[in-house]
Amino acid sequence: MPRGCRGTFKSLLSEGTDVMGHIKNLDIVLRNGGQEAVDAVNRMAADIEAMMPRWIPVGERLPDDYGDVLCWYVDAATGEGHCGFGCCEPNPQTGEREWDIAGVFDQPTHWMPLPEPPA
C-alpha cells in the first residue's frame, strides 16, 4: 500500500464508512498488476477525502443564514486559535452578514458544518 494511504484506510474504517464495493474493486485490480492497484488506492483516497468535512475559509464562502456551525477564530489578545459554536446572520439594520459566536468578539477565519445529529 502506498505511503499515506494506510492512515486514510484506518480513519475510513473507524468512521464506519461502507467500503465493501471499493475493496471488491481493489481485489480485482490487484490481480491485474501493481500500478493499477496503486492508482486505484489513490483514487479511493481522493474519494474518501472529498467525503470528509473540512474547514472552509470565510473568504471562500459563508454558511447559510442562521445555520449553526463550528467556527475557528484567533483570539486577538493572545494570538491563540480556538474553536467555537456559532452562526452567521444578517444584521437587521445593515443587511450585512455578521458572526454570532457565543461569548466571542473575534471574527472567525474558518467554519465547518456540524455533523448530522444521532438518530
Question: So where are the chain's domains?
Answer: 5-51, 56-113
Q: Greater confidence, 104 or 72?
A: 72
What share of the chain in percent tops pLDDT 90? 18
| 13: exposed, middle or buried (Cβ count in 10 Å: 0-12, 13-18, 19+) | exposed
pLDDT classification of 59: cutoffs 50, 70, 90: very high
What are the Cα distances from residue 82, in Å, to 3, 11, 15, 90, 109?
31, 24, 25, 24, 10
Position 101 scores a pLDDT of: 80
3-state SS class at 28:
helix
pLDDT at 2 over 50: no
pLDDT at 10 over 70: no
pLDDT, average across residues 17-46: 67
**DSSP letter at 15?**
T
